[in-house]
Structure 1
Amino acid sequence: MEQEKIIDLVLDNLRKVFYPEEWIQLDLSVSKTELLAMLIVDRHGEVIMSQISDYINAPLSTTTGLVNRLVKNGYLQRERSDEDRRIVAIRLTDKGKSMMTEVKESIGSYLERINAVLSAEERQALFQIFMKIMEALSRKDIVAEDSPSEQVIRKIPIE
């Protein structure tokens, strides 16, 4: 019963957490996956397709289509490496950099509002809880008791 109350509370407040009013003002003409791709490019300055693919947890074919859209819309650019012409580096354009600045400022504003109502002790506790939650969500070896066990497929070498 307690879990149902928590689920209801989370669902009732998801809009406030994931779509704060400030985000509505942003020109978010990209999907959340495209935004994630742009975030990794922003973080590293220059990446290759496989890095984006790994980060968004999508196959390379899906990532290629996603990057193609972002290039077409002017957020990303592709450039061949001078050292190895086989490598294609992906960078943000000025338009992409501008959007990332807006997103970061919006998130910063959102975090400032949260920090304003929490004491230093509460912020520390929240950070520790958040890290614990992220660790739990990242672990793949935890399987719910009700879920069926995964089928294991073994590769057998053929001679």
Structure 2
Amino acid sequence: MEQLMEFFLKNGLRPLQLDAQLEELEQKLTHSELTTLLFLDRYGELSMSELAAQLGAPLSTCTSIIHRLQKRKLIHRERDAKDRRIYLVKLTADGEGMVQKAKEQINAMFERVQAALTPEELQQFMFLTLKVAKAIQNEPKQIKQHKKAEVRRIQIED
């Protein structure tokens, strides 16, 4: 189950949108807030820039998420003792409790998936899920067609 959770988080997938039982949790927190809590649980203390990189979001977006979570007392943010320019973010006890509830619900969902599939099917599912997610999340690359430069002659009247 831990492997599936890491697989989903590292590849930007959203397991929370797959299960109706998780709706209650998502009514309390936005998807971005819950994902932030899950990343903090996984990695412990992160700087704001590290967290933004993990979320794949601009620092300004990450700052907004952190402010909302801090108001709810789910995270604690403090300056780094070594470099006062850096803010470090970590879960509070309430944040850890929220993450525990989320992980229990996510694990229950993954257990249902695992029970429905053979080990081979589960490996294939993970491979195909990653492949589809990458195809959806990557913007199609524009194919540049190189045209031969044409010289236009403009007639100038005297």
> Same fold by TM-score, threshold 0.5 exceeded?
yes
1:34 aligns with 2:33: yes
Name stretches of at least 5 consecutive residues in structure 1 with no aligned partner: 1-16, 150-159
For 2:103, the equivalent position in structure 1 comes to 104
Name stretches of at least 5 consecutive residues in structure 2 with no aligned partner: 1-15, 145-158
1:85-135 superposed Cα distances (whole Å, 9 cap, x missing partner): 222110010111111111111111001111112112211221221122133
For 1:67, the equivalent position in structure 2 comes to 66
1:72-95 superposed Cα distances (whole Å, 9 cap, x missing partner): 111110122222222211001011
For 2:48, the equivalent position in structure 1 comes to 49
Q: How many matched pairs?
A: 129
Residue 127 to residue 19, structure 1, CA distance change in 2 (3 Å): closer
Residue 43 to residue 117, structure 1, CA distance change in 2 (3 Å): same
Residue 98 to residue 28, structure 1, CA distance change in 2 (3 Å): farther
Residue 59 to residue 25, structure 1, CA distance change in 2 (3 Å): closer
Residue identity in the other structure for 2:118: S
CA distance in 1, matches of 2:38, 2:84: 25
Residue 139 to residue 25, structure 1, CA distance change in 2 (3 Å): closer
